[in-house]
């Protein structure tokens, strides 16, 4: 006997988290602060009360941490551990995004459109497409879901491209003298080091009540 929740229930719970996040973002446009100094997501804005952390080149929205925390809780972590994992994950992703953009791995509108088209095809033919559909059905419309995904991949695609290039280079340098599985394990460790260094470079600081944000983020 297990206490694990059925996949369909988890999908619906996660879909509700995403749809609420989408609705919040749609209602919070044209705000005071740019979320990033670089890349396509620099078009996105937030109000000061909705910003959790400030880095050297990027701001972390409270909603982003909350969403990650909900993900970890849905997947069985207690509240304290979920908070810890969410903070670590979100800081890592945002720091890697800046590194990716500075290394020239931004994404174009054409790339985004192509990726979303491929993602739609993948979802429609997947064996577990019913689970994906449960998430999509949590939105007011399928169009809203894909619009939300497109916004997410403005950040995720540059990270994916950058990390893939680093991984390929690492494997090429190390595969000659080591077993494939060993190199993969070493790459996982190397990526964590890269991420930690990127986070350190951003020097994320949690914003305190009424604390001001650097004027460079004002749009």
- The predicted-structure confidence for 27-52, as pLDDT tens digits, reads as follows 766 678 999 999 999 999 999 889 99
pTM: 0.89
* pLDDT (tens digit per residue) in 75-130: 999 999 999 999 999 999 999 999 999 999 999 999 999 999 999 999 999 888 89
Q: Is 35 exposed, middle or buried (CB count within 10 Å of its CB: 0-12, 13-18, 19+)?
A: buried
Of 22, 10, 51, 27, nearest in space to 151 by CA: 22
Instruction: Say what the pLDDT of residue 24 is.
Output: 79
Whole-angstrom distance, CA of residue 219 vs CA of residue 154: 19
DSSP label at residue 186:
H
Give residue-wise pLDDT tens across range 132-143.
Answer: 999 999 999 999
| Mean pLDDT, rounded, for 176-194 | 88
Confidence band for 3, pLDDT divided at 50, 70 and 90: very low
List Cβ<8 Å contacts ≥24 apart for 104-110.
105/158, 105/161, 105/162, 105/165, 106/39, 106/40, 106/158, 107/40, 107/153, 107/154, 107/157, 107/158, 107/161
Q: Per mean pLDDT, which range of 5-9, 22-26, 167-171, 189-193 is the poorest? A: 5-9
Under a CB-based contact definition with an 8 Å cutoff, are residues 149 and 156 in contact? Answer: no
What does the pLDDT read at residue 11? 86
Average pLDDT over residues 156-167: 98
Residues forming a β-bridge with 218: 33
30: left (phi over 0), alpha (psi -120 to 50) or beta: left
């Amino acid at each position: 006997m297990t206490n694990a929740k059925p996949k369909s229930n988890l999908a619906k719970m996660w879909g509700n988290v995403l749809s609420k996040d989408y609705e919040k973002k749609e209602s919070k446009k044209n705000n005071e602060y740019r979320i990033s100094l670089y890349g396509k997501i620099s078009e996105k804005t937030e109000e000061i009360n909705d910003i959790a952390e400030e880095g050297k080149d990027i701001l972390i929205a409270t909603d982003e941490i909350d969403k990650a925390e909900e993900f970890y809780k849905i997947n069985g972590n207690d509240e304290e551990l979920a908070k810890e994992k969410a903070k670590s994950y979100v800081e890592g992703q945002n720091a890697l995004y800046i590194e990716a953009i500075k290394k020239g791995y931004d994404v174009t509108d054409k790339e985004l459109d192509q990726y979303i088209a491929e993602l739609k095809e993948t979802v429609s033919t997947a064996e577990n497409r019913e689970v994906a559909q449960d998430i999509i059905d949590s939105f007011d419309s399928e169009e809203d879901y894909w619009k939300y995904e497109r916004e997410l991949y403005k950040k995720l695609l540059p990270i994916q491209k950058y990390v893939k290039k680093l991984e390929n280079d690492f494997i090429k340098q190390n595969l000659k003298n080591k077993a494939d599985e060993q190199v993969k394990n070493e790459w996982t460790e190397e990526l964590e080091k890269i991420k930690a260094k990127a986070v350190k470079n951003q020097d994320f600081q949690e914003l305190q009540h009424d604390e001001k944000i650097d004027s460079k983020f004002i749009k």
